[in-house]
């Protein structure tokens, strides 16, 4: 492989790829914040919008590691353990979005892969860049190799989280459309006649 020997060219390439990966990590974090704010709405009411805003504010300052942990604890679940937990002391409606896995080994692989992104991000920011010798062309080549290796994983996670976010938004839209349809009126009345 013919590698350029001009350190400025290599540095520029390394910084471009670093920027790309940091943007993708930021998109993962932003998608998690938005997804988590949608996935658990405790009480559906006229103040649901206020609750969404409160959820967004709650997740706004959380770290990537905390967001991934919250996703693991509330959204990515084993199909056998995904039964709703109802608080019988209060009446009301709640809404949650879960991605269930029938194979716990696959679930654990998914969780581990996302946790590894957090470790990679922290290592990149707190070690790899901190120890980068900005006068060494070899250090820049190592950084470029690391970033090129990391980026496909970031894109895969971003795509997967994007699917979850899109699915939850589409689900909310479907519910809204159904409640406005004549089918909903018939559904409510047919349910009452079964009592």
Mean pLDDT by 10 residues, the chain (195 residues): 75 97 97 87 63 81 93 86 56 72 89 95 95 96 98 96 90 81 77 54
Q: Look at residue 67 and tell me if it is in a domain.
A: yes
Q: Considering the domain boundaries, does residue 1 fall inside one?
A: no
Q: Tell me, yes or no, whether 171 lies in a domain.
A: yes
User: Does 177 fall in a domain?
Assistant: yes
Q: Could you give the CA distance from residue 123 to residue 136 in angstroms, rounded to a whole number?
A: 20
Rg over alpha carbons for the chain, rounded to the nearest Å, is 22
DSSP states of 138-167 as a string?
A: HHHHHHHHHHHHHHHHHHHHHHHHHHHHHH
Per-residue pLDDT at 78: 85
- pLDDT on residue 150: 97
Please tell me the total count of domains within the chain: 1
Q: What's the pLDDT score for residue 80?
A: 74
Q: Examine residue 153 and state whether it is found in any structural domain, yes or no.
A: yes
- Degrees, nearest 5: CA angle 153-155-157: 70
User: What was the pLDDT predicted at 130?
Assistant: 95
CA distance 162 to 178: 24
Does residue 13 form part of some domain?
Answer: yes
pLDDT at 56: 82
In a domain, 115, yes or no: yes
DSSP state of 126: I
| Structural domain containing residue 82 | 7-193
pLDDT at 158: 96
* 2 belongs to a structural domain: no
Give the predicted TM-score (pTM) of the model. 0.81
Residue 96 φ/ψ, nearest 5 degrees: -140, 155
């Amino acid at each position: 492989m013919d590698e350029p020997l001009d350190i400025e060219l290599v540095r520029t390439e390394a910084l471009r790829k670093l920027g790309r990966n940091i943007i993708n990590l930021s998109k993962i974090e932003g998608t998690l914040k938005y997804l988590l704010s949608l996935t658990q709405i405790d009480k559906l009411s006229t103040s649901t919008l206020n609750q969404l805003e409160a959820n967004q504010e709650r997740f706004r300052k959380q770290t990537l590691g905390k967001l991934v942990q919250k996703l693991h604890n509330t959204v990515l679940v084993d199909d056998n353990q995904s039964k709703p937990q109802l608080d019988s002391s209060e009446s009301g409606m709640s809404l949650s979005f879960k991605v269930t896995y029938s194979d716990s080994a696959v679930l654990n692989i998914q969780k581990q892969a996302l946790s590894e992104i957090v470790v990679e991000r922290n290592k990149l920011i707190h070690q790899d860049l901190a120890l980068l010798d900005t006068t060494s062309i070899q250090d820049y080549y190592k950084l470029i190799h690391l970033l090129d290796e990391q980026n496909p994983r970031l894109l895969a996670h971003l795509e997967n989280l994007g699917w979850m976010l899109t699915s939850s938004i589409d689900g909310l839209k479907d519910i809204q459309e159904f409640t406005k349809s004549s089918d909903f009126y018939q559904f409510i009345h047919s349910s009452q006649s079964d009592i």
